[in-house]
Amino acid sequence: MSRATQEFFRVHPDEAWRLETALIEIKVDREMYLVDPAVWPLFPNECKPRTIYTTIDRRNVVTLWPVRLPDEKGRLDDYNRSAHEGAQLAMEKWVRISANQALGAYDIDVAAGAFPEPVWPSVTFTDLLKIAFKGRLIEDLDHPVLRRLRGEI
């Protein structure tokens, strides 16, 4: 669930193919969990707001790309601000992004060639979410990840 920096990609332009949600990232396990909205207020320090964009690259590989949303104070770093800008541009053009550490944001490059429009998969966005987050959906307080964060296991 990330964007490769050397690949040109598109973002699905239909709002039905993206989701504003919250994710819990367990860094030690390098896992992200999709969290039911009812759980968000109970774990505000762990639930990070994200937009999940549906992307497709030139090889027709579909991925879900989570990009951080502003926090409760409206703050958003330049990397994530530029990622959202890249996503918006990728709804109309083939782009690639690469980290620019000197700038503290992503560089966004538009493809010089006239690539054909992407062929999106016949599955639904809900199907993609189920595949991407199989076994990593937190729907209630008894989920092992939440029990682990509470120090119960």
Question: Looking at residue 84, what is its pLDDT?
Answer: 97
Per-residue pLDDT of the chain (153 residues; tens, 9 = 90+): 555 567 899 999 999 999 999 999 998 989 999 999 999 988 888 999 999 999 999 999 999 999 999 988 889 999 999 999 999 999 999 999 999 999 999 999 999 999 999 999 999 999 999 999 998 999 989 999 999 998 998
- Break the chain into its structural domains and give their ranges: 9-149
Q: Closest by alpha carbon to 64, among 80, 45, 50, 78? A: 50
